[in-house]
Amino acid sequence: MARDDIFKYSEMNREFQFDGIVADVFDDMLNRSVPCYRMVIEMMGAILDKFLLEGDRVYDLGCSTGETLVELARQLDRLNLDFTGIDNSPAMLSKARHKAEMFALASRIDFREADIVDLDISGAGAIIMNYTLQFIRPVNRQEFLARVYKALRPGGILILSEKVLSPAPDLNRAFIDFYLDFKRRNGYSETEISRKREALENVLIPFSVKENIDLLTEAGFTSHETFFQWFNFASIVAVKN
Ligand X SMILES: C[S@@+](CC[C@H](N)C(=O)[O-])C[C@H]1O[C@@H](n2cnc3c(N)ncnc32)[C@H](O)[C@@H]1O
Q: Which residues bind ligand X (CB under 6 A)?
A: 18, 30, 62-64, 67-68, 87-89, 92, 115-117, 130-132, 135
CA distances from 58 to 4, 79, 202 (A): 29, 11, 30
What is the smallest separation between the CB atom of 87 and ligand X, expressed in angstroms? 4
Closest CA to 94 of 113, 114, 70, 69: 113
Q: From the CB of 39, what's the least distance to ligand X, in Å?
A: 12
CB of 148 to ligand X, least distance (A): 13
Of 140, 153, 124, 104, the residue nearest 61 (C-alpha):
124
CB of 152 to ligand X, least distance (A): 18
Question: Beta strand pairing status for 207-208 and 109-113?
Answer: unpaired
Return the residue nearest ligand X (CB atom).
62
Q: Which is nearer to ligand X, 56 or 87 (CB)?
A: 87
CB nearer to ligand X: pick between 68 and 84: 68
Burial class, 134, CB count within 10 angstroms (exposed 0-12 / middle 13-18 / buried 19+): buried
Nearer to ligand X, 149 or 233 (CB): 233
In the bound state with ligand X, the residue whose beta carbon lies nearer, of 77 and 115, is 115
Asked if 210 and 140 touch (Cβ cutoff 8 Å), the reply is no
37: CB partners within 8 A, 6+ apart:
30, 31
Tell me the three state secondary structure of residue 231: coil
Q: Which is nearer to ligand X, 46 or 168 (CB)?
A: 46
- Least distance from C-beta 206 to ligand X, angstroms? 12
